[in-house]
Amino acid sequence: MTMKLKTKLICIFILLSIVPLIIVSVLIYRNGCQRIEQETINHLVSVNIFKSSQFDRWVEDSRQSSQELAQHPLLRQYAAVLSSHDTPEIVYYRTKKKLIQDHFLTRLKFGRFQELSLLCPEHGTILASTSGKQEGRVYNGQAYFIKGKAQTHVQGIYYSKAIEQPVMTIGTPVKDVQGNLLAVLAGHLNLQELTRIMEQGRELRQTEDTYLVNAAHYFVTEPRFGQGFALKETVHTKGVEDCLSGMDGMGLYKDYRGVPVMGAYRWLENHQMGIISEIDQAAASESIYQLASFIVWTTLAVIAVILGVGVYFARSISNPVRRLVAGTQEVGLGNLEYRVDIKTHDEFTELSRSFNQMTEQLQETTVSREELRKLNQGLEQRVAERTAELEDMNAFRDSIMQHSPTGIVVYNEDGQCVLVNQSAARLVGASMEDLFSQNFRTINSWQKTDLLSSAEESLRTGETQRNTVTMTTTFGKWVHLDCRFSTFRMKSDTHLLLLLNDITGLKEKETTLKRKTGQLQAANKELEAFAYSVSHDLRAPLRAIDGYTRILEEDYTPVLDDEGRRLLGVVCSEAFRMGQLIDALLSYSRLGRAELQYSEIDVGVLAHSIFYELTTSKDRERIVFQAKNIPRAQGDPSLMRQVWTNLIANAVKYTSKRDQAVITVSGEGIGDEIVYSIRDNGAGYDMQFADKLFGVFQRLHSQKEFEGTGVGLAIVQRAVMRHGGRVWAEGKIENGAAFFFSLPL
């Protein structure tokens, strides 16, 4: 019997532990395999999305850089001279030299372009180029020249026979202030940057590869396992064929080497190219093999431990049972002196003690009736005490139920109300008796809302359902309620629990907040419209003043004396300054209307670019400009360029009277924001007037000392605040100034 009980216990232990363990291990392995495969696919898809967005941003940044260069006033002047047929040869070559040295070569330092050229708008002849051998060549058949005369055009990647390598070219019209075409600016992009974008992250996985393919099946960037493939080798894998048909997807196929891979592909409609990311199937399966090995060895180790524990517990149970059976046999044979001594520190010890007490009682010949009476009284007292405890617990539960501010209603599986509290009756405008008589499947207001379907769904699935409803109850009360359904079981019956909370106050606050938000938006729009209208209305009298002063200047200068001519000059100068103020006011008003387009900005490159645009070579001999290790920013590129242009222009202007000027740009992460600063050793200002710095038309220096509109710093503050940042400044008279602004991380 002992061996039979022990065997049964071990079998039960195995069924209850080892079998579920094996099943769980198999499920974990299958789920792990699926997750590893899905994570690999998700990674490849994410790589495609990330790198295609980097590609788009790189092209857009290059387009903006080309447009900014084409709109530079000096470049327009140089283009007018070079494209004119009457320009003397010496002037022509001097102008070309200045254009190349001061603008083209400066732009090439930033690494975005590998060659910049200026083309004649009539014949497509290269007038000036950073590559001397290109000058004089004609490119009137290229798309970037033909379409670039009307607007900025990005010509997709193609093979250039002139420079014997793949190129991507941006053509931008150069126009004078009247909109007349002066030339076409052509920039060959540095495709090494595009290759670098595709190569990012390769080092993390040995077989991961990302490359671009054009619509003609040619490699656009170099694949990981090939050299010299760009625009020279074609690829016809299944992934490439599906991608070039305009599909986005993933699959298992052989790559351009014939190696089985797991790949994801994405069609780039704007560039008529596809981006392919692949990883060898063997490499992707390594994690699965490691998972399988780990699960197998772990399962075997756990099984060994379980078997040992099972044998131990089987013995600890069967041995005391065997000794109790032997004791029972001895007592059955009449040996009332026999005692069972079991010391296992569990229920078997109590059982052996009870067995010994039983044998002692059997030895007694009589039992006292008084003792029996006392025993019955003790039992009755314990039953009464337990009954009182249960009644107190029920009363405590009922008190909580009735005093809860949350409405509580319980329905049985047939839909009939079986429990309700006073709060629920008050919320729906009924009495508790009215609710007890209801079946939720017949409540009309539930059928008109989602409450009935939510209740049925909770009963069917056992999951909690939540609804926020506004309705008129069956009892005529208009309510806003937050309703939650959940199920529970009592013995074998299923019940539906409904919790009700009044959210009328929250709804009223939400309505008030929406109304105030709408009023604030309307007020902002009216304010912006007013500023825009005032600025435009001021232009009409300003144009009249400018016209009449020009007539006086051209026709009546000989009649006027020196004082008259001086006063006429003052009128012209003030009219011009008024025009600048209007332009500044328009720029300030537009800041509130434009929608922010966030992207990553290289602040260091941006600061250097703006400094070179705002200064001449003579200025740069006097100014030491420092901007190193500047953290990148997340923001709207257009507004951030306007912020840095105003701040750097401010520093250049107020250091103009220094023989040796120093301008320093820096940035660092502080807490949950990045703080940028620009310092100079210029004229500085008095800190007691610091509160006026960022006001519109507020200036701390006279127009005679330093020209300006008084709107630049106001534009900086408004642009930074639209990004959720803040602006402040420090300064001291004749000891320079420092301007700071922050952007959230």
Quick one: pLDDT at residue 483? 93
- Asked if the model's pLDDT at residue 383 lies above 70, the reply is yes
Which of left, alpha, beta for 569 (phi over 0: left; psi -120 to 50: alpha)? Answer: alpha
Residue 414, both tokens? 């047939």
What residues pair up with 677 in beta bridges, in sequence order?
666, 740
pTM tops 0.75, yes or no: no
Would you say the CATH fold of 404-502 matches that of 204-281?
A: yes
Contact 247/267 with Cβ under 8 angstroms? Answer: yes
Contact 495/489 with Cβ under 8 angstroms? Answer: yes
Contact 211/257 with Cβ under 8 angstroms? Answer: no
Quick one: pLDDT at residue 384? 78
- Asked if the model's pLDDT at residue 224 lies above 80, the reply is yes
Best mean pLDDT range from 192-206, 240-254, 504-518: 240-254
How many whole angstroms separate alpha carbon 640 and alpha carbon 602? 11
Judge: domain 404-502, CATH 3.30.450.20: yes
Quick one: pLDDT at residue 3? 54
How many whole angstroms separate alpha carbon 743 and alpha carbon 667? 11
How many whole angstroms separate alpha carbon 519 and alpha carbon 402? 44
How many whole angstroms separate alpha carbon 667 and alpha carbon 651? 17
The SS3 call for residue 410 is strand
How many whole angstroms separate alpha carbon 343 and alpha carbon 437? 60
Q: Cα dihedral angle (315, 318, 323, 325), rounded to 10 degrees?
A: -170
Looking at the chain, the whole-number percentage of residues with pLDDT higher than 90 is 16
How confident is the model over 122-145, as a mean pLDDT? Answer: 87
- Asked if the model's pLDDT at residue 246 lies above 50, the reply is yes
How confident is the model over 707-729, as a mean pLDDT? Answer: 81
Contact 455/468 with Cβ under 8 angstroms? Answer: no
pLDDT band at 329 (very low <50, low <70, confident <90, very high): low
CA 303 vs CA 10, 199, 309, 310, 588: distances in Å:
13, 47, 10, 10, 74
Placement of tokens 């447009």 in the chain: 67
Quick one: pLDDT at residue 200? 80
Q: What is the mean pLDDT of the chain?
A: 81
Report the CATH fold assignment for 599-744: Heat Shock Protein 90 (3.30.565)
Which of left, alpha, beta for 493 (phi over 0: left; psi -120 to 50: alpha)? Answer: beta
How many whole angstroms separate alpha carbon 68 and alpha carbon 613? 9
Q: Nearest CA to 446 among 417, 418, 422, 426?
A: 417
Q: Nearest CA to 162 among 186, 199, 137, 196?
A: 137
> Would strands 737-744 and 407-412 be described as parallel, antiparallel, or unpaired?
unpaired
Quick one: pLDDT at residue 566? 78
Q: Nearest CA to 344 among 352, 355, 356, 333?
A: 352
How many whole angstroms separate alpha carbon 534 and alpha carbon 537? 5
Taking the mean position of all CA atoms in its chain, how far away is CA 333? 84
How many whole angstroms separate alpha carbon 104 and alpha carbon 65? 12
- Asked if the model's pLDDT at residue 697 lies above 60, the reply is no
Residue 189, both tokens? 């992009």
- Domain ranges for the chain: 2-55+285-326, 61-194, 204-281, 404-502, 507-590, 599-744
The SS3 call for residue 595 is coil
Looking at the chain, the whole-number percentage of residues with pLDDT higher than 70 is 79
SS (HEC) of 435-496: HHCCEHHHCHHHHHCCHHHHHHHHHHHCCCEEEEEEEECCCCCEEEEEEEEEEEEECCEEEE
Quick one: pLDDT at residue 700? 57
- Asked if the model's pLDDT at residue 480 lies above 70, the reply is yes
Please compute Rg for the chain using Cα positions. Answer: 43
Contact 738/663 with Cβ under 8 angstroms? Answer: no
How many whole angstroms separate alpha carbon 467 and alpha carbon 693? 53
Residue count of the chain, please give it.
745
pLDDT band at 1 (very low <50, low <70, confident <90, very high): very low
Quick one: pLDDT at residue 668? 92
- Asked if the model's pLDDT at residue 704 lies above 60, the reply is no
Quick one: pLDDT at residue 308? 74
How many whole angstroms separate alpha carbon 546 and alpha carbon 219? 59
Report pLDDT digits (tens) over 438-469.
899 889 888 888 888 999 999 899 899 998 88
Question: How does DSSP assign 199-255, residue by residue?
Answer: HTTGGGSTT-EEEEEETTSBBSS--TT-SS-TTT-B---HHHHHHHTT--EEEEEE-
Write down the H helix ranges in 258-280.
Answer: none
CB neighbourhood size of 37 (10 A): 16
Sorted by sequence, the CB contacts under 8 Å of residue 553 that are 6+ apart come out as 568, 572
Quick one: pLDDT at residue 624? 92
How many whole angstroms separate alpha carbon 673 and alpha carbon 728? 15
How many whole angstroms separate alpha carbon 729 and alpha carbon 688? 12
The secondary structure of the chain in percent helix, strand, coil, rounded to multiples of 5, reads 55, 20, 25
Higher pLDDT: 334 or 436? It is: 436
Report pLDDT digits (tens) over 639-677.
888 889 889 988 888 888 888 999 999 999 988 899 999
How many whole angstroms separate alpha carbon 745 and alpha carbon 742? 9
Judge: domain 204-281, CATH 1.10.10.10: no
Quick one: pLDDT at residue 607? 92
Quick one: pLDDT at residue 2? 46
CA 220 vs CA 228, 244, 249, 512: distances in Å:
10, 13, 20, 57
CB-side exposure of 599: number of CA atoms within 13 Å?
Answer: 17
Least confident interval from 240-244, 388-392, 413-417, 696-700: 696-700
Residue 577, both tokens? 């300054």
Question: How does DSSP assign 128-172, residue by residue?
Answer: EESSGGGTT-B-TTSHHHHGGGTS-EEEEEEEETTTTEEEEEEEE
Q: Which CATH superfamily is domain 61-194 in?
A: PAS domain (3.30.450.20)
pLDDT band at 28 (very low <50, low <70, confident <90, very high): confident
Higher pLDDT: 314 or 471? It is: 471
Q: Check residue 178 and report its DSSP letter.
A: T
CA 721 vs CA 42, 438, 599, 679, 727: distances in Å:
37, 57, 17, 21, 8
How many whole angstroms separate alpha carbon 150 and alpha carbon 59? 19
Sorted by sequence, the CB contacts under 8 Å of residue 140 that are 6+ apart come out as 123, 124, 146
Quick one: pLDDT at residue 386? 78
How many whole angstroms separate alpha carbon 311 and alpha carbon 718? 77
Least confident interval from 65-74, 220-229, 611-620: 220-229
How many whole angstroms separate alpha carbon 357 and alpha carbon 389? 31
